[in-house]
Structure 1
Amino acid sequence: MRVALKEVKQKTCKACGSKFRPSLSTQKACSVKCALDLAPANQDKARKAIAQRERREIKVRKEKLKGRADYAKEAQAAINRYVRLRDAHLGCISCDKPASWQGQWHCSHFRSVGAAPHLRFNLWNMNKSCSACNNFLSGNIMAYRPALIEKIGQDKVDWLECSNGIERHDIPYLKRVKAIFVRKARRIEKRLEETMSWIAV
């Protein structure tokens, strides 16, 4: 019994555009000349693909090398950024610098991370502060406290001052904190951009 050979489907040459019947299913050019013409473009694609794969591999290797302290640092940076954006319309919590002040703004903890690590990511405990108060006056707590009472209320400040706990945030928790506050910060930035574009119109 004779088996009929399947006819090879025509392809369009990627280099010159003419129709041809390939001898291999992966063949993209009708001739050696056209294949050579395609080579630089294919090399660029290959280089980009290799570079992309290398970047992914480096990222995975870096993730494996990271410890809890690295994840805590990333989570803290994400939540700090969110707090600065949340309080963008407010001045310094600890002094009379207005929101229009052109210096560097920080996220200041009412109870420090060293004294109350369990409150490290508590949003009542975190407020926008100028770099002078946060860096050089250790948060300027004498002025911080009455302003915080005005902002969140006496009950919440009392709770912060009396709260004692031992909490060692694990890596999955720190990853969640980072992811949540990166998203929240982006949402605020988007709203601010929309407001500014509306004002510009």
Structure 2
Amino acid sequence: MTLNRSEFKRQPAKEPKTKPGPRQRKCSNCGSQFLQQRMGQQVCSTACAQSYGRRISEQQQRKKERQERAETKAKLKTRADWLREAQAAINSWVRLVRDVDKSCISCGRQHEGKYDCGHYLSRGAHPNLAFVENNLAKQCVPCNQYLSGNQIRFRQGLIARIGLEAVEALESDNEPRKYSISDLQAIKADYSARLRELKGK
């Protein structure tokens, strides 16, 4: 079979790609607009490059010093310090996350006043239960501070939430729990991370 030349369509020649020219960007040091001459250029002049380099170096140095101070401070903390910080972390998690929509465990009121994290079995008498979540609940300040925890009503509220069997198991829990500094650091880190997740939502 013979084909006519007219049946072949000649493709138009492609125009050569042109390289993109310099683009405007904001100087990371002085804030003025300049034409970027090379990839990754962040500053408009040699003077700004030197100034910007010094600023970045100073920021890195300050960050390093803050880290060193934090590490030194952490080394100076006693077990009592870590115990207090770990307790504050789990208490905040109970109030602001787990029980945020719940009323006071004892009086049942839901109001705009202040709330604490109450312990059904006190930390003084039952230090082994200080971090047991079933022993903790959001409680209004009057019940927790002025009524010494309002324990009878606390027990009634706890039974309504977790059941009598769980409350009796808590009351008979005499398992010794000795928390080392590393244990307390882990507890603080865990509940602090849970709080950050809430803030990030």
TM-score normalised by structure 1 residue count:
0.72
Which residues of 2 match residues 3-22 of structure 1 at below 5 A? none
What percent of counterpart residues are identical? 36
Residue in 2 that maps onto 1:183? 193
Match of 1:67 among 69, 78, 100: 78
Q: Bigger CA drift: 115-124 or 80-89?
A: 80-89
Q: Is 1:108–2:118 an aligned residue pair?
A: yes
**Using the alignment, how far apart are the partners of 2:145 and 2:79 within structure 1?**
25
- Give the counterpart letter for 2:98 in structure 1: R
Q: Is 1:139–2:149 an aligned residue pair?
A: yes
**Using the alignment, how far apart are the partners of 1:18 and 1:142 within structure 2?**
76
Q: Is 1:90–2:102 an aligned residue pair?
A: yes
**Any conservation in 2 of the 1:76–1:178 contact (CA below 8 Å)?**
yes
Please give the per-residue CA displacement for 1:90-121, whole angstroms capped at 9, x wherever unaligned: 100011311xx111111100001000000000
Which residues of 2 match residues 1-40 of structure 1 at below 5 A? 36-40=47-51
**Using the alignment, how far apart are the partners of 1:164 and 1:106 within structure 2?**
25
Deviation at 1:50, TM superposition (A): 1.4
Deviation at 1:153, TM superposition (A): 0.9
Q: Specify whether residues 67 and 106 from structure 1 end up closer, same or farther in structure 2 by C-alpha distance, changes over 3 A only.
A: same
**Using the alignment, how far apart are the partners of 1:112 and 1:45 within structure 2?**
51
**Any conservation in 2 of the 1:113–1:120 contact (CA below 8 Å)?**
yes
Deviation at 1:184, TM superposition (A): 2.9
The 3-state SS of whatever aligns with 2:107 is coil
Which has the greater radius of gyration?
2
Which residues of 2 match residues 158-197 of structure 1 at below 5 A? 158-188=168-198, 193=201
The 3-state SS of whatever aligns with 1:145 is helix
Residue in 2 that maps onto 1:41? 52
Runs (5+) with no aligned partner, structure 2: 1-34, 39-44
- Give the counterpart letter for 2:67 in structure 1: R
The 3-state SS of whatever aligns with 2:101 is coil
**Using the alignment, how far apart are the partners of 1:186 and 1:56 within structure 2?**
20
**Any conservation in 2 of the 1:86–1:188 contact (CA below 8 Å)?**
no
Residue in 1 that maps onto 2:4? none
Q: Which has the higher helix share?
A: 1
Aligned Cα root-mean-square deviation (Å): 2.4
Runs (5+) with no aligned partner, structure 1: 1-15, 20-33, 194-201
Residue in 2 that maps onto 1:7? none
Residue in 1 that maps onto 2:17? none
